[in-house]
Structure 1
Amino acid sequence: MSVSISTRRLLAQWVTPENFRSYGQVIFASVDGKSFDAEDAQLSLQNGIPKFYIMRLYHKGRKFGKITRHVQCTQCLGSLDGKDWLMAVAPPGDSYKPSLEDMAAFRIPGNCFIKLDVGTWHAGPYFDADFVDFYNLELSDTNVVDHFTFDFVKYHNQEFEIVWI
């Protein structure tokens, strides 16, 4: 007997520093030489060796059944070439699973990057192009020792689809 999997749609809103505050920061260009302040990325990378790299991701649609978090570091993501992209998030918490009520999706323009707070649940990046190159700042072993995933399909028979207008 097969189990039916329901799909919940998440409407992607344009990211702003205010609406993304529960999940991290949005960082835009600033004047060279500006003093460090609260608008700059507040990083937590002291638990290992930082890794800054460009990752090429290929189109995989906008549906997801799993969400991930890292509890030892912040993570910064941004697209190259000015391409818009999507990310689903849920705020950090003490539970082994994300809060379904607090999940949100954002459309992120190619002229900024996001910094995910320590423990922020995230699924993505998603986009419509064949591929997009992203820069990524995390720890060198994040995906080995600090990669915690929750499976919505397994525990809730549910997946999500990010929709943008």
Structure 2
Amino acid sequence: MKESVSTKQLFAQWITSENFRSYGQVISASVDGKSFDAQDARLNLQNGIPRFYIMRLHEKGRKFRKITRHVECTQCLGSLDGKDWLMAVAPPGDSDKPSLEDIVAFRIPGNCFIKLDVGTWHVGPYFDAEFVDFYNLELSDTNVVDHFSFDFVKSHNLEFEII
């Protein structure tokens, strides 16, 4: 008989530049003509052809069993139409798996986007609407050659739920 999967709940905190710093950057609107500075996204896209596209995601709940990272590039995500959304992350590191204690969830307002640092573990976006369109900036082959996942069910018989 197969053992049942345990569920760990993660409280989604509102994202700020400070509480997201270990994972990447929060980018918000600035005045036109402002000079490049630390508030702008620091992108790493030199390892391939950048791909900027809009992806339509349909509501899929708030539970996850796997987490992914990309070690060749940064990734930027943001919702269109000003819809809030959720994301779980863990800091980048040298290990081929994230620490369970380091996984946190964020609630992201629809008026900003996030830039994930190279190697940041992430899962999402999640949301409560029927569907949300997201823009995504990564490399053209990120999901083919730079998509490393870790399965919590296989390793710990565990899933997470963002609340």
Normalising by structure 2, we get a TM-score of 0.99
Identity among equivalent pairs (%): 84
Distance 1:108 1:59 in 2: 16
Once the two structures are TM-superposed, the CA of residue 99 in structure 1 deviates from its matched residue by 1.3
1:130-149 superposed matches below 5 A? 130-149=130-149
Could you list the runs of 4 or more consecutive aligned residues of structure 1 that deviate by over 4 angstroms after TM superposition?
none
Counterpart CA distance in 2 for 1:58 and 1:154 is 26
Q: Indicate the residue corresponding to 1:99 in structure 2.
A: 99
CA distance in 1, matches of 2:161, 2:101: 15
CA distance in 2, matches of 1:57, 1:3: 31
RMSD, matched Cα: 0.4
Q: Distance in 1 between matches of 2:19 and 2:99?
A: 17
Deviation at 1:105, TM superposition (A): 0.1
CA distance in 2, matches of 1:3, 1:52: 42
Q: Aligned residue for 1:59?
A: 59
Equivalent residues in 2 for 1:122-137 (5 A)?
A: 122-137=122-137
Q: How many pairs does the alignment contain?
A: 163
Q: CA deviation at 1:4?
A: 1.6
Measured in 2, the distance between the counterparts of 1:55 and 1:38 equals 28
Paired amino acid for 2:156:
H
Cα deviation code 1:71-128 (max 9, x no counterpart): 0000000000000000000000000001111110000000000000000000100000
Q: Can you give the 5+ residue segments of structure 1 that lack an aligned partner in the other structure?
A: none
Partner of 1:70: 70
TM-score by length of 1: 0.98
